[in-house]
């Protein structure tokens, strides 16, 4: 597959785009704090504005992407993000840039990122054979993991060395590189034929929802993802309180512990290219989810000095990163294989919408439990709740998926 120049161009473009996205997540908040002197409340609003497009746009984007060429979507969104960041950098250097304008840039970048993320997941199905999806996803998700490791550190370094406006311009350069690489993909992309009167957007969204609900594997993926994201958000709220308050770790130690997730995710991407084909997709999903989620049960038991707790936390986060990424890549391969081409975007967007929709409630629950029961007890309870995700997988037909995945159904959208 690496001999396929079009796949290499997609991989290079997606890698550059993910690196730009990860650096931007650090550069824009620092832009607000250092250049515009934003306060804590304003910074919270800034982060919320950047995350809002996931809930506001995901379902619509899925319906739109299924009718468009994914290459065009990725090229246009990368161009848009590069322009938005470039304009912000120039305006700030000229002294004519304020917080309202930065909020608009943050929302625009977040919205365009939703388009790109849905499009690149759907594009792989139109570019490679279905028996190559696991390896293709392994490569793409591996580069995304690498960007998650290096992107935030690079963004902070750029701000320190160049200033926040110039760091924003540098982030725009990554999106420009992605634009140049993806637009060179030569293979003609087939898209579903458009009827003279295409169905309305709400009908198309409804078709995506019905397909995911009707397919037992995708329905389970949706429920398991929602359970995981809900309890993981609750765990992280207590976790970020537990490390400094109960274990008395410094900010540097906390950052080091969290950073171990990245190398683990790289290993998980490599394993995802091999293990499902050897042991079966269902067995890998259930066992990897159980190990990756269950490892957090060890965190509330930690006591003692930094010399003991930091290595233990490094091990916990490395294991979590490895097995959660193994689950992510395998789930993506399952979704792409059982979903018809004309529903790829809507299926991805539906699962993303349902999975991520409960995270604010999970964060709220984690804070309430930590305040009422203490961080150690709340961590134990919410970490145990994460095991609901592999339990749902184990009790469903998803657990019985073998080495070879079934293809899409003949009638993908059931009648009602």
More confident residue, 47 or 401: 401
Mean pLDDT computed over 344-371: 77
C-beta neighbour count of 341 within 10 angstroms: 16
pLDDT at 323 over 90: yes
- pLDDT for the residue numbered 162: 83
Mean pLDDT computed over 269-285: 88
Burial of 78 by CB count in 10 Å (0-12 exposed, 13-18 middle, 19+ buried)?
Answer: buried
pTM over 0.75: no
More confident residue, 333 or 9: 9
Joined tokens for residue 155: 């963004």
CA 178 to each of CA 80, 81, 154, 168, 279: distance values in angstroms, whole numbers, following the listed order? 12, 11, 17, 16, 35
| Terminal-to-terminal C-alpha distance of the chain | 41
Close Cβ partners of 53 (under 8 Å, ≥ 6 residues apart): 107, 110, 111, 113, 114
Close Cβ partners of 295 (under 8 Å, ≥ 6 residues apart): 316, 319, 320, 323
pLDDT at 191 over 70: no
- pLDDT for the residue numbered 192: 57
Helices (H), 215-340: 216-245, 251-259, 261-272, 275-279, 281-294, 306-338
Mean pLDDT computed over 329-354: 81
User: Could you tell me what percent of the chain has a pLDDT over 90?
Assistant: 21
More confident residue, 131 or 251: 131
User: What domains are there in the chain, each with its CATH number?
Assistant: 5-186 (1.20.1250.20), 204-400 (1.20.1250.20)
* pLDDT level of residue 193 (50, 70, 90 thresholds): low
Query: What's the gap between Cα 413 and its chain centre?
Result: 27
Distance CA 310, CA 253 (A): 7
- pLDDT for the residue numbered 33: 73
C-beta neighbour count of 156 within 10 angstroms: 15
Distance CA 285, CA 158 (A): 38
* pLDDT level of residue 195 (50, 70, 90 thresholds): low
- pLDDT for the residue numbered 44: 58
Per residue in 166-178, pLDDT (tens digit) is 988 999 999 999 9
Phi, psi values for residue 20, rounded to 5°: -60, -40
pLDDT at 294 over 90: yes
Mean pLDDT computed over 60-64: 79
Q: Please answer whether residues 155 and 171 qualify as being in contact, where contact means their C-beta atoms are separated by less than 8 angstroms.
A: yes
Distance CA 225, CA 212 (A): 13
* pLDDT level of residue 415 (50, 70, 90 thresholds): very low
Taking the CA of residue 373 as centre, how many other CA atoms within 13 Å lie in the half-sphere pointing to its CB? 16
Mean pLDDT computed over 67-73: 85
Mean pLDDT computed over 261-274: 83
pLDDT at 118 over 60: yes
Mean pLDDT computed over 340-364: 76
More confident residue, 6 or 307: 6
Joined tokens for residue 130: 């279905």
Joined tokens for residue 321: 């990163």
DSSP-derived secondary structure for 113-136: HHHHHHHHHHHHHHHS-GGGHHHH
Q: State whether the Cα torsion 78-81-82-83 is positive or negative.
A: positive
- pLDDT for the residue numbered 392: 93
Mean pLDDT for all residues in the chain: 82
pLDDT at 350 over 50: yes
Joined tokens for residue 188: 């003609």
* pLDDT level of residue 251 (50, 70, 90 thresholds): low
CA 187 to each of CA 71, 238, 356, 374: distance values in angstroms, whole numbers, following the listed order? 10, 48, 33, 57
pLDDT at 78 over 80: yes
Relative orientation angle of helices 281-294 and 216-245, to the nearest 10 degrees: 20
- pLDDT for the residue numbered 393: 92
Mean pLDDT computed over 212-221: 84
More confident residue, 41 or 371: 371
Q: What 3-state class would DSSP assign to 412?
A: coil
Q: Please answer whether residues 345 and 62 qualify as being in contact, where contact means their C-beta atoms are separated by less than 8 angstroms.
A: yes
Going by the DSSP 8-state scheme, the letter that residue 387 receives in this structure is T
Q: Please answer whether residues 47 and 29 qualify as being in contact, where contact means their C-beta atoms are separated by less than 8 angstroms.
A: yes
- pLDDT for the residue numbered 416: 40
């Amino acid at each position: 597959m690496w001999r396929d120049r079009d796949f290499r161009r997609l991989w290079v473009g997606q890698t550059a785009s993910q690196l730009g996205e990860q650096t931007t997540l650090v550069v824009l908040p620092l832009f607000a704090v250092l250049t515009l002197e934003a306060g804590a409340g304003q910074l919270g609003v800034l982060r919320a504005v950047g995350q809002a497009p996931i809930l506001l746009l995901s379902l619509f984007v899925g319906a739109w992407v299924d009718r468009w060429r994914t290459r065009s979507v990725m090229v246009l969104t990368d161009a848009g993000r590069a322009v938005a960041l470039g304009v912000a950098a120039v305006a700030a250097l000229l002294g004519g840039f304020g917080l309202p304008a930065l909020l608009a840039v943050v929302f625009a970048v977040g919205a365009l990122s939703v388009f790109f993320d849905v499009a690149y997941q759907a594009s792989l199905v139109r570019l490679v054979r279905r028996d190559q999806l696991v390896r293709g996803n392994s490569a793409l998700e591996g580069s995304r993991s690498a960007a998650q490791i290096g992107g935030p550190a690079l963004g902070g370094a750029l701000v320190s060395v160049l200033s926040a406006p110039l760091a924003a311009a540098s982030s725009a350069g990554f999106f420009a590189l992605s634009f140049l690489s993806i637009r060179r993909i030569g293979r003609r992309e087939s898209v579903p034929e458009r009827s003279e009167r295409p169905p309305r957007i709400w009908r198309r969204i409804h078709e995506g929802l019905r397909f995911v609900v009707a397919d037992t594997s995708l329905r389970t993926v949706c429920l398991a993802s929602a359970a995981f994201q809900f309890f993981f958000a609750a765990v992280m709220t207590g976790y970020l309180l537990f490390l400094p308050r109960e274990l008395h770790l410094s900010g540097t130690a906390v950052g080091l512990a969290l950073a171990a997730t990245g190398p683990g995710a790289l290993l998980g991407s490599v394993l995802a290219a091999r293990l499902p084909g050897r042991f079966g997709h269902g067995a890998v999903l259930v066992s990897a989810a159980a190990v990756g989620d269950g490892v957090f049960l060890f965190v509330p038991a930690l006591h003692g000095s930094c010399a003991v707790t930091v290595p233990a936390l490094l091990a916990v986060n490395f294991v979590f990163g490895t097995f959660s990424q193994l689950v992510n890549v395998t789930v993506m391969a399952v979704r792409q294989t059982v979903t018809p081409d004309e529903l790829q975007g809507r299926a991805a967007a539906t699962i993303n919408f349902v999975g991520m929709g409960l995270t604010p409630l999970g964060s709220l629950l984690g804070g309430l439990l930590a305040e009422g029961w203490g961080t150690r007890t709340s961590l134990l309870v919410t970490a145990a709740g994460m095991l609901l995700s592999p339990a749902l997988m184990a009790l469903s037909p998803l657990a019985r998926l073998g080495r070879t995945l079934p293809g899409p159904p003949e009638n993908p959208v059931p009648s009602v």
